[in-house]
Amino acid sequence: MTGLSGAGKTTIALILEEEIRQRGLKVERLDGDTVRESLTRDLGFSKEDREKNIERVTFVAKLLSRNGVVCICSFISPYQSIRDRVRAQTTNFIEVFVDAPLETVMERDVKGLYQKAIAGEIPNFTGISDPFEPPARPDIHVRTDLQTPLESAGHILGTLEDMGLIPPAKL
């Protein structure tokens, strides 16, 4: 899952994780904030460090996936080139664009990160002083300014079912 900070990636990933687990599948959620607290705490937010961050996450996701674990990865991942590289290196890579306009994510920003970035207090902040390259052709596109998190998760789950990647929900 890719999208700006505050677009809803983590919220939707939590819903997906629970629903996929209820369907009897093994699932792990790799989230940008959590991963940066442990696996990639030595990295900053330069383009090179962001790419290294995604490379490490890809390595972990590939290990989990080849052992039958569904991986939900929610990262800003602002560069199309690195997302394309990940797609080429992994199986069952589904690019989900969690989309919300900059104005919407700024309104949701309870930590005030966007305002700090605008004031120059946070360098390399995606969407303000660093670019975000929206996916050219995401496999799944949700608009969190137009849908609730449950609606977005439902759309993602339905698409994954249609693709044969997860079983339908049990009634």
Catalytic site positions: 77
Nearest Cα to Cα of residue 35 among 66, 2, 63, 60: 60
Q: How far is CA 87 from CA 61, 112, 115, 145, 147, in A?
A: 12, 33, 33, 27, 27
Helices (H), 3-123: 9-22, 32-37, 47-66, 80-89, 102-108, 113-118
Cβ-in-10-Å burial (0-12, 13-18, 19+) of 166 comes to buried
3-state class of 170 per DSSP?
Answer: coil
Nearest Cα to Cα of residue 132 among 102, 110, 107: 102
